[in-house]
Structure 1
Amino acid sequence: MTAMQAVALYSGLNILLLLYLAINVSLHRRRAKVSLGVGTDAGLEQACRAHGNGTENLPPALIGLALLGLLGSGTLVIHALGMALTLGRGLHAYGLLTDPGRSFGRVAGTALSWLVLLVSALLLLGKAIS
């Protein structure tokens, strides 16, 4: 597997996660009969935030992975970052959808996601100035 095939793998998996979260929001909206905003439905608010958080964090992370792949980072680097990202986003979504408060999934998922963003940014800056 090439680095760019690994980027494609993690991009595809995370896009599927976002699609699941979007469908989950739609189902909650239908059940709660709320077409805009969240009304007073706690489950809809959780679903919206899980989806929203994914849409806030995944684009820069996937762009970072793609740029690293295009700039010649090794497949191992892409796999390490891609696995951490996918695990982090999955844990965060699960944690938020099952518990609106602080949970292991939310904390660990956030930490992994931010770590991927930080490492990707540092690697990209290193490639830019080398």
Structure 2
Amino acid sequence: MGAAAQGVAIGKQITQNIGAASNPADDRRAIEARVQDCEQALGGAELPDAVAPVAAFQMRLLAGELSKVGAQGTPSASTISQVGGWLLDNVPELHAPLAALFNAPETRRVLSRADTPLDAWLKERFGG
């Protein structure tokens, strides 16, 4: 092992829980920052007058579901997939910020607690 080795365990009967301990307050702040990135992109998007308020409403719904960090409730997989899908389909400017949001480790921890698995939807929409 070199001097720069990290996360290495040598021996017998060793168990590692990498990234298992997360702080809900830190997760919430990280998710809120990524949601703000999405809202900023949404604010700069050139959308038809009929689409803009719907997109803002959908973004608020998504933010509400993703704010269910720690023991603050169970995120709704159907709401997340429907709202996320609508935003991806109707606001092209959100593709990159939504990908960053949904692929963030903090968001993935929230999504892993959803009422039904979102793995297939995440793979379909964001790959691997």
Instruction: Give the TM-score category using the shorter length.
Output: 0.3 to 0.5
Instruction: Choose 1 or 2 for highest CA Rg.
Output: 2
TM-score normalised by L of structure 1: 0.42
- In proportion to residue count, which structure has more helix? 1
* TM-score normalized with structure 2 length: 0.43
